[in-house]
Amino acid sequence: MDRWAQYLFEQHSEAELRSWAQRLKFFRFFRAFGGHANDGDSLDAAFAYQTTSQLESCLKDLGVEIVKFDSQPPQPELWVSYRGDEFSRFPSLVSGTTWMKQPGRCKIMDVDAFVWCGADRIKISVSEGYAVTEKNVMDAEKIETALARLALERIDPPRDTKNCICPKYYPDYFNS
C-alpha cells in the first residue's frame, strides 16, 4: 500500500469510505490535510449562489438563523495583535453582503453542522471533532433531505482535492 492510501484509509477502511460514498448524495468525505494544518476529517457539501437574496433564501430553507447588522460592526485591523478573547468579539461577516454574520456552528434538521459562506458559495460540514463517525453519516443523510429541496447549483467536489472522496477523484466508488 502506498503512503497516500495508507493515510487515506488510516481511520476508515476503503470499504467503509466506498459505502459512505454510495449512501450520500450531496455530502463528500474529506480526509484532513493533516500535519500542521490542525484540520479534521469532515463530510462536506457545497452550493453556488449568485445573490445575497439567494443565500438568505437557502439559509432560511435550511432553518439556519440569519444575523444581519444595521451598521458595520467593528472588525479587526490589519497588522494589529489581539488577545484571543478580544479577537472573538469581532463577528465574522459573509464576504459580499451588507454585514451578514457567518452562520458558523448551527443546527440543520436538528443536526449539529458548520456552515460557512464565501462570496459565491455556501459550504456545509458535519464532523465530530477531528473525525467522521457513522453517526455523522446518518446525520448527513438527514440533512440531505433538506439539501435536495435547495434551488441552488451543487458544487462537486466541495473541495477540489484528492482528499475529497468524490466522482472526480474516485469514480469507481460511485459505481454500483
Amino acid letter, residue 74: P
E-strand stretches of the chain: 28-30, 42-48, 104-108, 111-117, 121-126, 153-155
| Pairwise CA distance, residues 153 & 150, whole Å | 8
Cell digits of residue 119: 462570496
Q: Does the pLDDT value for residue 117 go beyond 80?
A: yes
Amino acid letter, residue 46: A
| Pairwise CA distance, residues 112 & 37, whole Å | 23
Q: Does the pLDDT value for residue 37 go beyond 90?
A: no
Which residues share a beta bridge with 154?
47
pLDDT of 66-99, one tens digit each?
Answer: 999 999 999 999 999 999 999 999 999 999 999 9
